[in-house]
Structure 1
Amino acid sequence: FSHPLKKFQYVMGLWAAYQAALRRAPLRTKCSTAAMLWGVTDVVTQCLEIRRECPTASLLEEYTPTRTLRQSVFGCVVHAPWTHIVWGSLERFLPTNSIRHVALKVAVDQLISAPLFFAVYFGYIGAVQGEDLEGIKRRWLRVWPTLQVVWCVWPVVHFFNFRYVPLHQRLLVALSLQLFWNSFLSHLANKPRSSTPPVSGWDAALLWRTLLTRRACVDSETSQQLESGIVIKGGVVGISQVGDEVT
């Protein structure tokens, strides 16, 4: 009995130390937390992708550390300060946890902050990979389908977060859930580009499933194994053949 109790006391000690760090240096603590969790999430995502696409490949040989670094830097430099400023401002203007104030916070966060955030995110990924303006613009085409998936999940999460969780702990709650969400986002941002025309009729739920599974299909004419990808042209989302690599 004493051994589990010691573990519990150790965990509670870490939690108390984290809370003290949040009170002492909130932004710095949030940046450190975001950097760690964005990085860990990308490591897990890459391992799953490698195992799914080539089960016999070596994880160490196929793993791309620069991709994890990009994700970690974004979490530290952009995501944590972004939420610190936006959520702090919302709390000042809408200070209560009433249904009305919480609903307004969620609306501002999802309809104003989220589109800008994802535009910055995809632009950042393109810029750090050395893409020109046209390449970044192509990445921005992914903002809208990403938002469609976001709005299926995160309004409910943030309603709970804004209503029941103290302000200084909200980023930790969001980041904990984003261990799953960031896997999707990292995969979407770093997937190869495609030049094949889109197939119409795919909704946000299928977009989520496709991006998480990246199922292979076989072309009936060439019998060549293809990798599932998402292409957006003219507002249409579909599955396409991967044509070129991310630079």
Structure 2
Amino acid sequence: MAVCSACRSAIRRHIDILRKQRQRRTYSSNTNNGTDLNSKTAKRSLHTPPRPQDQVPTPNNVPTLNFWQRLGPLTRAAQAYARAQRKRPYVTQVCTSLFIYLCSDISAQSMGGRDYDPTRTVRSLLIGSLSSIPSYHWFVWLSESFNYPSRLLSIATKVVVNQICFTPVFNTYFFGMQALLSGATLAETWDRIVHTVPVSCVNSCKLWPAVTAFSFAFLPLEYRPVFGGVIAVGWQTYLSYLNRLAEQRMAMKAEKLSEAEIEVAA
């Protein structure tokens, strides 16, 4: 009996020793894992920037708005135009063209020193409404094309393509339609195009490359018609003025021909 009790006590003692060793291993492994996790978390917190919502607003981390976004009523008007541009681009473009051509024609007629002619205004509004949608598609295509890794090269290419392709075609359309709608013959229309388009294309190089480059460099697509429209009021005034000079030149030429015919008949 004494031997059995001694054996049982030895077995219990051995089991207790094994249990304590197992507990020590489990504690040491948990401690090491916790230390590793804490160290990894600390390293991650050092290298990971704080989230924007966790930052305290200061002058250094609050983004500043662009100048054109801080103009009060003008900014709200531009934003309303941009919303209309995104929802109804065609209607917005036609209305914009009608406003631009109305202002430019009235300005051009006031420079001529003659009485106001509503027929000229109606003619200009028709020309502007017909060209609004093709012009819109052209500039959308131009903004989506010629996008190279170099931003400077992209903008320069867009400007050059616009000056070479769009400007001569549009000016030919403008002066040709002005002549045809005023009752000129094909020969007279061609004569007006020859005397107005080259001059207008050369003078456009003094204005529109800078306007186009600024528009593509700094303005989103929906705001470009607003910016271009403001500049186009003055430019369309100049085109209307050139067209009026061409009309006067053709009228003087017709008077001379009629006088010569009268002299020959006499």
Q: Aligned with 2:206: secondary structure? A: helix
Aligned-partner residue type, residue 140 of structure 1: I
* Aligned residue in 1 for 2:169: 116
Partner of 1:206: none
Question: What residue in structure 1 maps to residue 127 of structure 2?
Answer: 74
Q: Is the counterpart of residue 160 in structure 1 residue 214 in structure 2?
A: yes
TM-score of the aligned structures, taking structure 1 as reference length? 0.67
**Structure 1 residue runs of 4 or more that deviate by more than 3 Å after TM superposition:** 8-16, 241-245
Q: What's the secondary structure of 2:249's corresponding residue?
A: coil
CA distance in 1, matches of 2:254, 2:234: 27
Quote the Cα distance in structure 1 between the aligned partners of 2:201 and 2:190: 16
- Counting matched residue pairs gives 182
Aligned equivalent of 1:136, options 177, 189, 196: 189
Q: Distance in 1 between matches of 2:253 and 2:188?
A: 15
- Match 2:109 to one of 36, 43, 46: 46
1:20 and 2:52 matched: no
Q: Could you tell me how far apart the structure 2 residues matched to 1:12 and 1:169 are? A: 11
TM-superposed deviation, 1:17: 2.6
Q: Is the 8 A contact 2:78 2:226 kept in 1?
A: no
Question: Secondary structure in 1 aligned to 2:183?
Answer: coil
* CA drift at 1:135: 0.8
In the alignment, residue 197 of structure 2 is paired with which amino acid? V
The separation in 2 between residues aligned to 1:12 and 1:150, in whole angstroms, is 28
Deviation at 1:95, TM superposition (A): 4.0
Q: Deviation per CA, 1:187-233, whole angstroms, max 9, x where unpaired? A: 111223427xxxxxxxxxxxxxxxxxxxxxxxxxxxxxxxxxxxxxx
Q: Does 1:100 align with 2:153?
A: yes
Q: Which has the higher contact order (CA 8 A, sep 6+)?
A: 2
The equivalent of 1:183 in structure 2 is 237
Higher mean alpha-carbon deviation, 102-111 vs 164-173, is at 164-173
Q: 1:91 to 1:69 in 2, by over 3 A?
A: same
Question: What amino acid maps onto 1:125 in structure 2?
Answer: Q
Q: Aligned match of 2:249 in 191, 194, 205?
A: 194
Partner of 1:219: none
* 1:65 to partner: Cα distance: 0.8
1:63 matched to 2:126? The reply is no
CA distance in 2 between partners of 1:173 and 1:244 (Å): 41
Which among 94, 109, 125 is matched to residue 31 of structure 1? 94
Q: Give % identity.
A: 24
Q: Do the aligned residues in 2 keep the contact of 1:193 with 1:244 (CA within 8 Å)?
A: no
Cα gap change, 1:108 to 1:12, in 2 (>3 Å): closer
- Which of 118, 121, 138 does residue 86 from structure 1 map onto? 138
Listed one character per residue, the Cα deviations across residues 2-57 of structure 1 (whole Å, up to 9, x for unaligned) are xxxxxx8665554333222111011210110111121112112212322xx6xxxx
Q: 1:92 to 1:14 in 2, by over 3 A?
A: closer
Rounded Cα–Cα distance in structure 2 between residues aligned with 1:95 and 1:31? 28
Deviations 1:142-186 (A, max 9, x none): 111111111122111111111111122212211101221111111
Residue pair 1:42, 1:183 contacting (<8 A) in 2 also? yes
Length-normalised TM-score, structure 2: 0.62
> Given residue 104 of structure 2, which amino acid in structure 1 is its aligned partner?
T
Gaps of 5+ in 2: 1-70, 256-266
